[in-house]
Amino acid sequence: MWRRRNLARFKDWERMLDLFLAEIGHLKPNQIGPERLARLLRDMEDGTITGHPLAPASIRKNLAPLNSIFKLAMRRGLIPVNSLTLLDAAMAGGGVRDHYEWNPKEVSDLIAASERVAKRPESRYDYSPLIRVLIFLGLRNGEALGLRVRDVDLLGGILHVRHNWRRDGSLSVTKTEAGVRDVPLSPGLVDLFALVIPADADEDDFVFHSKGNPRRPISYFNFRKRGFLPALEEAGPEGRSITVHGLRSAAVSIYAASGLTLAETADAMGQADPLVTWKHYLKMFDRSKVNERIRAAQESIELT
């Protein structure tokens, strides 16, 4: 069993190395500056490279060989400074970077912007339903793309999260055991899925599928480039370290602001440890209302 586990781990590392080299293996050390590394970190965090989002610890582990290469290049006089050290303190601390702090208006603006983008003459696909699902359900990217018609219980108002769509074009189990979960759907989300899923759809069809091919999900890269990033630009908050994976933070913050406990929120997000949810995803959602409650607490004690 020990050998099987380590063999599987070695294959994962080998696959990661291949993906990593495909991204920057053709570049010389002096061509890999802070901006290129920051983009690499974003792509590793939101799953663009690997097919699934990587935790900060995994990202640091995978970048360790690159740090050694930079140090060697510095000793040989090929580069003046290690570009990894020029990234913000998150690289050496507890995370790649902090998630964005959303508010209700920005969530509404992003959804409205995604709908406007879908109506542009050059748009080939309406990605706004997927953006809604990611914001309000907090699914991982691969979990959303891996949804099939059989996973959506419209009558019961339940979404069965069972699989993850990988970038290599395969359907796998969820990232963790806790990822297998049943998520309640609001009436609005039930209506959304009812509109997205054709009446004659087969149970094995993907919910968010490619045009003309219901047996294959849409491309994450197309979604990010043609749907998500244009919607961010249209809505206004572009350039603020917002990623597709960061929409999970919006969902966590919405749930917490609505009164769900941390354990309940973690369960809906498919995370076994609520502390991970709190540490990496939870943010203030409606700061103005929080400020009101803080002021009310300050005034709650009458001084004699």
Residues 145 and 225 in one domain: yes
The per-residue pLDDT of the chain, averaged, comes to: 80
- Under the banding of pLDDT at 50, 70 and 90, the label for residue 17 is low
Distance of alpha carbon 296 from alpha carbon 301, whole angstroms: 10
Question: Do 241 and 154 share a structural domain?
Answer: yes
Tell me, yes or no, whether 292 lies in a domain: no
Whether residue 162 is found in the same domain as residue 230: yes
Q: Which two tokens stand for residue 249?
A: 């933070």
Answer yes or no: is 291 within a domain. Answer: no
How many folded domains does the chain comprise? 2
- In tens, the pLDDT along 152-172 reads 999 999 999 999 998 778 889
Residues 12 and 144 in one domain: no
Coil, strand or helix: which one is 212? coil
Same domain, 13 and 51: yes
My answer on whether 172 and 42 are in the same domain is no
More confident residue, 102 or 127: 127
Q: What is the 3-state secondary structure (H, E, C) of 95-150?
A: CCCCCCCCCHHHHHHHHHHHHHHHCCCCCCCCCHHHHHHHHHHCCCHHHHHCCEHH
Same domain, 84 and 117: no
Does 83 map to a domain?
yes
**SS3 helix, strand, coil % of the chain, rounded to 5?**
55, 10, 35
Do residues 114 and 237 lie in contact, with contact meaning Cβ atoms separated by under 8 Å? no
Q: Give phi and psi for 276, each to the nearest 5.
A: -65, -40
Same domain, 154 and 239: yes
Indicate yes or no: pTM above 0.85.
no
Distance CA 242, CA 238 (A): 7
Confirm whether 16 is domain-assigned.
yes
- My answer on whether 135 and 67 are in the same domain is no
What range does the domain containing 34 cover? 2-91
Tokens read off for 40: 């690499």
Between 219 and 35, where is the model more confident? Answer: 219
For residue 293, tell me if it sits in a domain. no
Q: What is the CATH number of the domain that holds 130?
A: 1.10.443.10
Residue 122 confidence class, pLDDT cut points 50, 70, 90: very high
Judgement on whether residues 232 and 273 belong to the same structural domain of the protein: yes
